[in-house]
Chains A and B, each alone.
Chain A
Amino acid sequence: MATSTAVRFTVSGATLSAAPGDTRILNNGSTVPAQDIQISGNDILLSGALSDGLNTFTVMSTDSDGNALSAEATVWAGSSTLQITVSGGGTSTATVSARLGDDPSVTQTVATVNNQATLINVPARTVLLTASTPDNRYATAAITGDAGTVTLNLQAFNNPVTTINNDFSQGVTGWLPSDPAVIQLVPHVEQVGGSASVSPGPSVTTLKKLIPFAAMKQKRTLARAQGVGRHLARQKLMQPLDASSDQDLALTTSGEGPQSVSYTFNVDPGMSSVTVRYRFVTAEVPGGYFGSQFDDGYSVSLRNSSGSGNTSDINSMNALGLGAFDAGGSTGWKELTLPVNAAGDSVEVDASVSNVGDDLYDSQIIVDYVAELPLAVSADLTTACPNQTVTFTAQGGSAASATWTNGGTPATGSGSSFPTRFTSKGDYTVQASAGGQSAAASVHVSDTSGPAWTSLYPTSTSVDDLVEPFRTNVTNFAGALVDADASISISATLRPRERAYLMHYAYAIAKQGQDPSAVPPMQGVDICWQHYDESGNKDSGGSVSAAAQMVASYGIAYPPALTSRHTEGLAIDWSISWSGDLMIGDATGKTVTITSTPRTGAGNSDLWDVGSTYGVHKLQSDPPHWSDDGH
C-alpha cells in the first residue's frame, strides 16, 4: 500500500478508552507521534505513520474499564512506482508477476498493455519479477522497488543444442550467457549450505532486524571508495578450477542488475522428468549485508518446448533467510524438476542472478548438472517380513499422480508414496504408472520364525560328514568299539552353520531376552525373527512364542553356540555302552581290558584313554561329546 495510506485499528469486545494518553503505538520500535493518532469510538486511526518498507505496529491501549489492550500488525508500504517494459514478445500480452524479496507472501500480478505494466506503491526493497507469454516466452529479474523502470527481455525457446552438455563435461558448450564473461567452470563442492537449506523467507521477527538503510549505504560507499567490496567478493566467489575435478557452471553478477544463462536440449524418449541441481551464492552474506536492501536474487526455471510445463525458483537472499547460508554465503544444493513428455521433448534451463541495490558484492548461481530422469520407483526395504509395512516411492516425472498396483494390503494406491504389507513369504513387484510411464520395484518377504524351520538344515549323524583326519580317527575308534561288542548310537556329527544360527537365536529370543528385531541376518537363512500383526505393528509376543516353539522342537536344554566343534565337523555326540568287561584294541594295536564302571562312554575314563589313542578325545563335561581336541 501507499505510504500515505491511513491505518485503522478497531477494538472489538471492549470499549476503547477515549483518553488520548491511554493509547501508545510503536512502529518498528519507534513511538508514533501523538498527533498522528486519532481515537474515534472503538477505532484508532493513524495518518502518515507508514514508512517505506516494513511497518511493524505495536498498539498498546486500555478499555474504558482500564483493562490493557494490545495488538501487533505488519504492513508493507511503498512510495515507488515501477514502470515495466516487456520486450521480445511481439504484440502478445505478457503476464507480469512481482514478489517482494523480503516477504514472499506480498505479491502482485498484472497484464501488460502495449508491452507496458506499472506497479505502484512498491517498497524500496528487492522485487522479484517474472514475465511470461502464452507462447512460452519467459523473463525474470530482481531489482529494487525504487529503480523506476525496468525492462524484461522475454526469451524465446531456443533451438536445442546438438551437443548434450548436461554435466559440463564439454565445458560451457551449449550454455548461452548474457555476457560470455559471466560464466565459468568451477570445482564442484558438495558440502555447502546452512542449517536451514530451505526457508520460506524471513519471519516478522527477522524483518524487525533489517539493517537501517542509511547506515548501510554509508558503509557500502566507504567500501566502494576503498575498492574493497568487489575485490573481496570476487576472491571469495571465484575459485581456481582443478581440471581433474567435477566441474560446475558458475553464473556471476557483473555490475548492478541481472546476468543470465540458458541451455536448451532435446530430452531422450522414455524420460519422465528433467532436474536441474544448483545453489545460490552471495558475497552479501559474508559481507554482513543479510537483511539489507542489497538483497541479491536469482531465478532458475525449466520449461519445455510445447509450453505445457514450466517451473521456476525465484528467490532472494533475505527471502531465503540467513539460516539457508553457510559462512561462505552459499545455500545448500537445490533441485528443480519438470515433468516432460515421455515420447520426447525439448527443455530449456534458464538461470539468472541479480546484483541488487548497487554493483558491489557479487552473487552467483552455480549449476551442478541437468539430469534426465525416467519414472523410478524404490522401496524403503529390499527384504521385509510378513505384515511389515513397506513403503514404495515414485520419483521423477508425474510421480505425484502415480497410481499403484500389485500391492499387498492395500493392493492399490495413488500418489508418490505407497505403503503396503504382504502377508506371506515371496517376491513381490509393485508397479507405479504416471504420465504414460510405468516403473516397478520389488521386495522380498521372508518367512516368519517357527517350528517349521527346525526340520531344515538337519544335523548329520553320519561319520562321513566329519572332516579329516578326525573322520578317519572316529571311524577307527568306532570300528574298535564294534569289534569289542560295544553298542554305539550316534546322535550328532556335523551341525550346519545355518542350524547353529537358528538354534542360537531361537534360544536367545525365547530364553534370554534377545530383541528379535536385532538379530543379525545370516546369508541363506531367509527368516524373520520379528513378527508383525495385521496392522503392521511389531508382535513381540508372537516373536517370542515362535522362538520358544523352535527351542521345544529342537529339544535343546542349553544355549547353543554359533560356532562349535560340531559346526566345524570336529565332534561327535554318541552313546557308547557295553556289558561285562570291554576288551578293545587301542590305536597302537594293544588290547585294553576295561573292567571299570560305569559301562558307558559318558562316564568311563578308561575308555576315554583308549579314545585318545585314536585322536578322539572326551569332553568330560558333556556326556555324549567327543572331539578332536576334547573341546
Chain B
Amino acid sequence: MLVVVLALSSGAPGRALEAAQGAVAPEESSPQYAQARSELAPLLPIHSEQLSAVTRYRLAILSSRAATQNDPALCAIVISAIELTPLLAEQLSQIQGRLLEQGDTQALDTFTAKIQKATTLLPGIGLVVGTEGVRSYVDYRQLAQLFRAGPVSRDLLQTMGEFSPAPLGWPVYLEPQTDLGGCSRPTALLDPVRRLGQSWQRGPACLKEVLEGEIVKSVSAATTSSCMCSTRTETSDGMHKLAAVLKTVGLAKAEAVTNSNVEHLPERRFECKAGN
C-alpha cells in the first residue's frame, strides 16, 4: 500500500505529506488507479502530471469513504483540494480561452458539460465554467458530507462552505457586478466567522492550520479590495466589527490583517461600481 501524497509539483508537498499520514489509497499500478484515470482523462484535457494528481485525489476520496477515517486523512484531502482547484482552473481556463477565440460554441458546450461531469467525480473540487474562464473553489460542504469525521470537523467544514457557497463558489463578500468581479462587502464574512467560532477551538489542529490560512486569504481579499460596496464609514465600521469577531474566535492572523487594512481604507473606492 502506498501513502497518498496528493501534492502537485507546484504545491506544497511537505505539508501534504505530513498531513497525509494514515490516508491510504491503491497504488498507481493498481487497476483502481487505471480505471479512475480513464474516467477522468476524457473529461479533463489537462497535463498528465495534473491528471495523475486528480486521479490520486479521486482515489483518496473513494478510499477514505471505505476506510476508517481520522483527522490526518481528512486534512490531507482538504489540502489537496485547496491546491488542486486553482491549478485546474488555470489550465482549463486556457483551454476555454482558445475555444472562445475560435468562436466554437458547440465545442464550448461540450467543454462545459465535461467539466460539470468531472466535478461530480471530484467531490470537494468546485469548477464553474463562466463566460471568461473556469472558476474554482473548494466545496467544503461536499467534503463535510463525504467524511464521517468527528462532528467538530464536520461543522468546521460546513461553515467554511459559507465563505464561497456552492454551486457558484462566488466569495460571499463579493457582490457580483460583472463576470470578473464586483464590490466587496467585508461584513458579509461576519456570520460565517461567528459560526466558525462555535466549534473552532475544539477543531483538530491540522484542520485548523489549513483552514486558518484560507480564512486569512478570504479576509485579506475582502478587506483589500479597491472597490467597496458601502460608504467609507460603513466599511470602516464593518471591518472593525469583523476584526473583533475574528479576535473572539481566536483567528489572530486574520484579525491582524483586517486591522492593518482598515488603515489603508483611504485608498479604496466606496459605493463602488466595478465596470469591466
Q: Is A562 an interface residue (CB 8 A)?
A: yes
Residues on A with beta carbons closer than 8 Å to the beta carbon of B178: 459, 491-492, 573, 624-625
B117-135 interface (Cβ within 8 A of A):
128-133, 135
Whole-angstrom distance between the Cβ of A515 and the nearest chain B Cβ: 15
Contact with B along A595-631 (1 / 0, CB 8 A): 0000000100000000000000001011111010101
- Asked whether, in the complex, the Cβ of B226 is within 8 Å of the Cβ of A555, the reply is yes
Q: How far is the CA of A293 from the CA of B253 in the complex (A)?
A: 85
B108 touches A560 (CB 8 A): no
Which residues 455-510 of A sit at the B interface, judged by CB distance below 8 A?
A: 458-459, 461, 489, 491-492, 495, 499, 503
Known A563-B100, A563-B101, A564-B100; judge A491-B274 contact (CB<8 A). yes
Q: Does A421 contact B (CB under 8 A)?
A: no
**With known contacts A491-B274, A561-B133, A503–B180 Cβ distance under 8 A:** yes
In the complex, what's the smallest C-beta–C-beta distance from A397 to chain B, in angstroms?
Answer: 50
Q: Do B180 and A560 have beta carbons less than 8 Å apart?
A: yes
Q: Looking across the interface, which residue of chain B has its beta carbon closest to that of A624? A: B176
Contact assessment for A563 and B97 in the assembled complex, using a CB-CB cutoff below 8 Å: yes
Query: Quick check: which of B58-66, B167-175, B203-211, B234-242 contacts chain A, the rest being far away?
Result: B167-175
User: Quick check: A559 and B225 within 8 Å, CB to CB?
Assistant: no
- Which residues of chain B have C-beta atoms less than 8 A from A459's C-beta? 178, 275-276
Residue contact A565 to B131, C-beta cutoff 8 Å? yes
A552 close to chain B: CB less than 8 A: yes
Q: Which of B66-108 contact A (CB under 8 A)?
A: 90, 93, 96-97, 100-101, 105, 108
- The chain B residue sitting closest to A552, CB to CB, is B226
B243 at interface by CB-CB < 8 Å: no
Is B272 interfacial (CB-CB < 8 Å)?
yes
Does A223 reach chain B (CB closer than 8 Å)? no
Interface hits, A166-188 → B, CB 8 Å: none
A558 contacts partner chain B, Cβ-Cβ < 8 Å: yes
CA distance A573 to B182 in the complex (A): 11
Q: Is A557 an interface residue (CB 8 A)?
A: yes
SS of A interface (majority) = loop
Asked whether, in the complex, the Cβ of A625 is within 8 Å of the Cβ of B276, the reply is no
What residues of B have a CB within 8 angstroms of the CB of A531 in the complex? none
Contacts of A562 in B (CB 8 A): 97, 100-101
Given A554-B181, A563-B97, residue A619 in contact with residue B176 (CB < 8 A):
no
Query: Is B177's CB within 8 Å of the partner chain A?
Result: yes
For the complex, give the distance between the alpha carbons of A577 and B108 in Å: 30
By the criterion CB–CB under 8 Å, are B131 and A625 in contact? yes
Residue in B90, B131, B171, B183 whose beta carbon sits within 8 Å of that of A559 in the complex: B90
Chain B residues with CB under 8 Å of A461's CB are 275
Known: A459-B275, A556-B276. A491 touches B168 (CB 8 A): no
List of B residues within 8 angstroms of A446 by Cβ: none
State which size class the interface on B falls in: 35 or more
- With a CB–CB cut-off of 8 A, which chain B residues contact A602? 176
Q: Is B55 interfacial (CB-CB < 8 Å)?
A: no
- Nearest chain B CB to A615 CB, angstrom units: 15
**What chain B residues lie within 8 Å of A575 (beta carbons)?**
177
Assess whether B130 is in contact with A557, with CB atoms less than 8 Å apart.
no
Tell me the nearest residue of chain A to B274, going by C-beta.
Answer: A555
Whether the pair B105, A561 counts as a contact (CB closer than 8 A) is no
Whether A558 and B276, one on each chain, are in contact in the complex, defined by CB atoms closer than 8 angstroms, is: no
Asked if A399 is at the interface of the complex by the 8 Å CB criterion, the answer is no
Verify if A154 is at the interface (C-beta below 8 Å from B): no
Instruction: A625 to B131: give the CA distance in the assembly, Å.
Output: 8
Point out which of B97, B128, B180, B273 has the most chain A C-beta atoms below 10 A from its C-beta. Answer: B180
B272 contact from A555, A557, A566, A622, Cβ within 8 A:
A555
Q: How far is the CA of A458 from the CA of B183 in the complex (A)?
A: 18
Given contacts A459-B276, A563-B97, contact A558 B180 (CB under 8 A): yes
B187 within 8 A of A: no
B179 at the interface (CB under 8 A from A): yes
* A512 proximity list for chain B (CB < 8 A): 90
B170 touches A623 (CB 8 A): yes
Given A491-B177, A495-B276, check contact A558 B105 (CB 8 Å): no
Report whether A564 and B132 are in contact in the complex, using a CB–CB cutoff of 8 Å.
Answer: yes
Q: Which residue from chain A places its CB closest to the CB of B109 in the assembled complex?
A: A631
Q: Can you name the residue of chain B whose Cβ is closest to the Cβ of A575?
A: B177
| Interface status of B54 (Cβ within 8 A of chain A) | no
* Bound CA span A560–B129, Å: 13
| Interface status of A74 (Cβ within 8 A of chain B) | no
A556, B176: Cβ atoms under 8 Å? no
Q: Are B176 and A622 in contact (CB under 8 A)?
A: yes
Report which of A553, A558, A573, A631 forms a contact with B108, defined as CB distance below 8 A.
A631
Partner of A561, one of B100, B174, B181: B100
Cβ–Cβ contact B276 & A492, under 8 A: yes
| Segment 507-564 of A: residues with Cβ below 8 Å from B | 512, 552-564
Interchain CA distance A167-B170 in the complex, whole Å: 72
B246 within 8 A of A: no
A571 CB-CB contact with B under 8 Å = yes
- Cβ–Cβ contact A558 & B179, under 8 A: yes
Give the nearest-CB partner of B102 in chain A.
Answer: A563
Question: Does B227 interact with chain A (Cβ within 8 Å)?
Answer: yes
A451 CB to nearest chain B CB (Å) = 9
Tell me the residues in window 566-591 of chain A with beta carbons closer than 8 Å to chain B beta carbons.
Answer: 566, 571, 573, 575
Residues of A within 8 A of B97 (CB): 561-563
Distance from A114 Cβ to chain B, minimum over Cβ atoms (Å) = 85
B224 interface residue (CB < 8 Å to A) = yes
A621 touches B128 (CB 8 A): yes
Given contacts A573-B178, A575-B177, A602-B176, contact A561 B132 (CB under 8 A): yes
Residues of chain B from 247 to 276 with CB closer than 8 A to chain A in the complex? 272-276
A560-B135 Cα distance, complex, nearest whole Å? 11
CA separation between A492 and B182, bound complex, in Å? 11
Task: Enumerate chain A residues within 8 angstroms of B131, measured Cβ to Cβ.
Answer: 561, 564-566, 571, 619, 621-622, 625, 627, 631
Q: Which residues of A contact B224 (CB under 8 A)?
A: 552
Which residues of chain B come closer than 8 Å to A499, judged between CB atoms?
Answer: 276
Q: A565-B131, A624-B179 in contact; A557/B276 too (CB < 8 A)?
A: no
Alpha-carbon gap, A608 to B226, bound state (A): 31
CB distance from A504 to the nearest CB of B (A): 8
Query: Are A561 and B276 in contact, with the CB atoms below 8 A?
Result: no
A-B contact pairs, 10 of them (CB 8 A): A461-B275, A489-B273, A491-B177, A491-B273, A557-B181, A562-B97, A571-B179, A573-B178, A624-B179, A631-B108
Give the 10 A-B CB pairs with smallest separation, nearest first. A555-B227, A555-B274, A623-B176, A557-B181, A561-B132, A556-B180, A491-B177, A573-B178, A552-B226, A563-B101
Additional A-B contacts beyond A492-B275, A492-B276, A625-B178 (14; CB < 8 A): A555-B272, A557-B180, A558-B179, A559-B93, A559-B133, A559-B180, A561-B131, A561-B132, A562-B100, A564-B179, A575-B177, A623-B168, A625-B131, A629-B105
